[in-house]
Structure formats: structure tokens, C-alpha cells
Amino acid sequence: MQISSMPLGYNHPAMLEALGDPVNQKIIANRPALGVFPGKDWPNRLKDVLLKKEFAPPGLSHITTMMCGSCSNENAFKNIFIWYAEKQRQRAPFTKEEIESCMINQIPGSPRYSIMSFKGSFHGRTLGVLSTTHSKYIHKMDIPAFDWPIASFPEYKYPLEENVRENKHEDKRCLAEVEELFEKYKNEKKIPVAGVIIEPIQAEGGDNHASPEFFQELQRVTRKHGAALLIDEVQTGGGPTGKMWCHEHFNLDTPPDVMTFSKKMQMGGYYHLEDLKPKLSYRVFNTWMGDPGKVILLEAIIKTIKKENLLDRVTRVGDYVLKHLMDMQKEHSATISAVRGRGTFIAFNCASPEMRDNIIKKLATRGIQTGGCGSQAVRLRPALTFTERHADIFLDALRSVLRK
Ligand SMILES: Cc1ncc(COP(=O)(O)O)c(CNc2csc(C(=O)O)c2)c1O
């Protein structure tokens, strides 16, 4: 639903009621330049809504608000580069050479640092993050890119329970590649890796999952090499996997250094450790730096998630859909395979890209909106309010399409 950005469906009463409040109307009508004129209430709004303990990603107590997913990742990269440079500088002041060289995009002021990403990832289409996006060539063609390291994301065999050994081996293969790239970019290429960006489930790239163990070990390797771990929850965040944040399923040793969000949150931004906050102001800045009007909508969303127990519903309805899709997979094994998902963040593969496109088209003629991702996956991105009744409508339509 709207590329996974509609948490409560259309015209939810809680959202419309919030917009009807005259106090909120004035907030929406008078959008501030938050970086310089935040208004006295803004810190409390952040504390009461975005940093609320039961909602914020565990262990991340700082936040920088933005506008969309791309600009959140772009600016999170800047936090990471500034953090990394400050570590090298060991609190020394900027040198004259750094100041003069950065003005003409040269080292040492413009350092040759890099961000490691993964094949199949999607982190946005703006210039910096586009060097960490690797899902479709058409996103990248004709645009200059940084020579930054790109590791393999695990490619699992399904069903998972019948391929435990192979998939564990795949985790190890990919983690070994990450280690090699850290060394190569530091010692050979002289473009040290300052950060690693990864989606908890690669969405645009094909709903590619990796094990909690993979993410736990990735965090250890990243820390060992003195880099920051950025988990991109733009598409997985806000509840569709049954937890507010997908990485909560991974029981990481410690919180990620940075976690970006957007879509269902109605605004962009990133939570981060205090260490990742630049020491000087104005280093990560733009006119708006977020939008108090969107926090009004988000507040209504959070209240509704709590009041209607929507995370439990997502888990319950997601399990219901997965069970029925697994049954369908047995009956139509020549057509669909690799049924997978967390909560209602669900996907399955089709035998070919053409078949996938055909199934999406036929579902659409039955009033069912699904999406394609990767080369031959169909993905579901329903609102958090999705119930078994809605699921039955989808499942009946898919059964009739598969029987044709
Ligand atoms: C994991 C992840 N990270 C960052 C982004 C970029 O967010 P926006 O800039 O589009 O708000 C996205 C955006 N998702 C997206 C779906 S279709 C699409 C496109 O540009 O075609 C973009 C994302 O899924």
C-alpha cells in the first residue's frame, strides 16, 4: 500500500481526528525551519513521540529527523563520516590543509572514506546513497558512482528447515567476503570503510532474508574494523514484521550505531548512538530537518498501534497468510516457491519474471494490489490494520489465479 508507506490504510479516523484539531492545524500551517527555529515544544514532541521507550528502537536515544528515506540515509552517511574522521583526528582542530583541500574536493579535507553495501540492496536514488543501491540498473545508469565495497547478501535455499547446513555455509561465505572487503579497501584501495549499510530484509532486491546469526556476526565484524553499522529500516520499519523494528528479531549484541526510517513513519530520519552526533552544530543540516506536522500523524499512528494491538495483529495475520501460502506452494510447486516473511512482510517467488508479472496483473484485475521485487518475487505490503478477512480475499484471488 503506497510502496509500504500507509500504516493504517486510508482515512483512518484517528488520523482525520488529529487533523481536525485547531491546534494541530496551526502546527501544520506553519512549518518551521527546525534546525534554527525549532519552537520550544519540539524537544518534548521528539521525547513524547519518536523517543518514547516502547516505540523507539531499543538502546538508541538520539534522533535526527528528515524528510524521506534517501535523505535519511544520505545524512546518516554524513554522521558516520564525521564520526570516523573525528576518531582519526583524535579531537585535534581542523588543519589549514584540511580546510583548504576540502573546498576543492581533495584529500585530506575530503577524505576517501567508503560505505560498504550489499548486492541486491536499495537505499535510495540520490547521489551518495545511489552508490549503495544495487537492485536495478535503470536506477544507476549514467550517474557517477563511488568505488565503494559491495559484499554478497546471503542467498538462501528454501524451505529453510530443509537447508539449514547450506544456509549456514552461505552466511559464512558472505561474512568472509565482508572481512576481505574491509581489508582490501583499507590496505590496497586506501578507501577505508567507515560504515556498513544493510536492510534487515532486502526489499526492492527481492525480499531477501538473512538469519539473526548473520546480522549478529556482521555487527561483530563491523565493530572489529572500527566501522559503524547502519540498519536501513525505511521499508521494514514501523511494524510490518510484527515488531516496530525488524532488527529487533535479531537479538543483536548491542544496538546498531544508526537506524534509518521513513515510509510508514510518515517522515524520514534516523536514530543513533550519542557517539554519532557531530560535535559541531550545522554539520548535518537543511532548511526543514523534519516536519512537526508529520509528527502529529505519527502520534495518531502510534496511539492506534497500541490501542488496536496492531503488532500482535500483524504477527497473527502474517502467520495465517504464510500458512495458507505454504499450502498453496505445495499444490502449485511448478508456479510458486520460497514462501517467506516476517509478520505481513511476505513474499514468494514465481517460476519466471514473466509469470510473476502475469500473476501481479491478474491479481490487480481482481482488485488485489501486490508488488514485484527482485527478478521474480511477488511481495505483500498491506497496512498494519490488515485482518484475516482481508487475507482471505487475497488468498481466494491468488488461488483462482493459480488455477487458471
Ligand atoms: C530500504 C529502503 N531504503 C531507502 C529507500 C528510499 O526512500 P525514499 O527516498 O524513496 O523515501 C527505500 C525506498 N523504497 C522504494 C521502493 S520503490 C522505490 C523507487 O525509488 O523506485 C523506492 C527503501 O525501500
Among residues 287, 303, 361, 396, the one annotated as catalytic is 287
C-alpha cell at 206: 527481492
The domain limits of the chain are 13-307, 310-402
Question: Are 157 and 77 contacting, i.e. CB atoms less than 8 angstroms apart?
Answer: no
* Intervals of the chain under pLDDT 50: none
**Do residues 163 and 198 lie in contact, with contact meaning Cβ atoms separated by under 8 Å?**
no
Q: Cβ distance 256 to 230 under 8 Å?
A: yes
Q: How is domain 13-307 classified at the CATH fold level?
A: Aspartate Aminotransferase; domain 2 (3.40.640)
Q: 360 C-alpha vs ligand 1 centroid, how far in Å?
A: 20
Cell of 384: 498494519
Q: Which of 117, 122, 207 most suits a substitution to test ligand 1, by most atoms within 8 Å of the C-beta?
A: 122
Cβ atoms < 10 Å from Cβ of 223:
14
d(CA 196, CA 249): 19
In contact, 106 and 121? CB cutoff 8 Å:
no
Q: What is the largest CA-CA distance in the chain?
A: 72
Ligand 1 midpoint to CA 97 (Å): 38
Candidates 122, 182, 250, 345; catalytic one = 122
- Looking at 131-227, which runs of residues are DSSP E strands? 150-151, 193-198, 201-202, 208-209
**Active-site residue, 122 included:** yes
213-237 pLDDT, tens digit each: 999 999 999 999 999 999 999 999 9
Which numbered atom of ligand 1 lies nearest the CA of 126?
9
Ligand 1 within 6 A of 205 CB? no
Pairing verdict, β 371-373 and 258-261: unpaired
Query: Do 13-307 and 310-402 share a fold?
Result: no
Q: Classify each residue of 285-316 as buried b or exposed e, where b means 16 or more C-beta atoms within 10 Å of its C-beta.
A: eeebbbbbbbbbbbbbbbebbeeeebbebbbe
Cβ neighbours for 121, distance < 8 A, ≥ 6 positions apart: 132, 133, 134, 135, 153, 197, 198, 199, 202, 204, 205, 232
DSSP string, 25-52: HHHHHS---TTT---TTHHHHIIIIIT-
Tell whether ligand 1 has an atom less than 6 A from the beta carbon of residue 123: yes
Tell me how long the chain is: 404
Question: What Å distances lie between residue 275 and 9, 83, 280, CA to CA?
Answer: 37, 7, 12
Is 232 a residue of the active site?
Answer: yes
Distance 90 CA to ligand 1 centre (A): 36
Question: Which residue is catalytic, options 64, 214, 236, 263?
Answer: 263
Q: Which of 197, 202, 262 to mutate to test the pocket of ligand 1 (most atoms within 8 A of CB)?
A: 262
Task: Please tell me if the CB atom of residue 199 comes closer than 6 angstroms to any atom of ligand 1.
Answer: yes
Grid cell locating 298: 505519527
| Ligand 1 pocket member 129 (CB < 6 A) | no
| Dist CA 56 CA 38 (whole Å) | 21
Which backbone phi and psi does 340 adopt, to 5 degrees?
A: -160, 160
Task: Please check whether residue 80 is in contact with residue 74, taking contact to mean a CB–CB distance below 8 angstroms.
Answer: no
- Residue 91, pLDDT score: 86
73-107 confidence digits (pLDDT tens): 999 999 999 999 999 999 899 999 999 999 999 99
ipTM over 0.90: yes
Indicate whether residue 303 lines ligand 1 (CB < 6 A): no
| DSSP H helix total and E strand total for the chain | 13, 13
Residue 140 CB partners (closer than 8 Å, separation 6+)? 130, 133, 134
- pTM as predicted: 0.97
Phi, psi of 403 (to 5 degrees): -80, -15
Q: SS3 of 118, please?
A: strand
Q: What is the pLDDT of residue 107?
A: 97
- Write down the CATH superfamily of domain 310-402: Aspartate Aminotransferase, domain 1 (3.90.1150.10)
Distance from Cα 150 to the centre of ligand 1, integer Å? 19
**Which of 234, 267, 294 for a ligand 1 pocket mutation test, highest count of atoms within 8 Å of Cβ?**
234
Known catalytic residue: 287? yes
What is the per-residue pLDDT for 1?
79
Name the residue with the closest Cα to ligand 1, atom 24.
Answer: 235
Q: How far is the CA of 70 from the centre of ligand 1 (A)?
A: 7
Read off the C-alpha cell for 159. 524451505
Active-site residue, 215 included? no
Q: Which residues contact residue 244 at a Cβ distance below 8 angstroms, ignoring those fewer than 6 apart?
A: 55, 57, 237, 238, 311
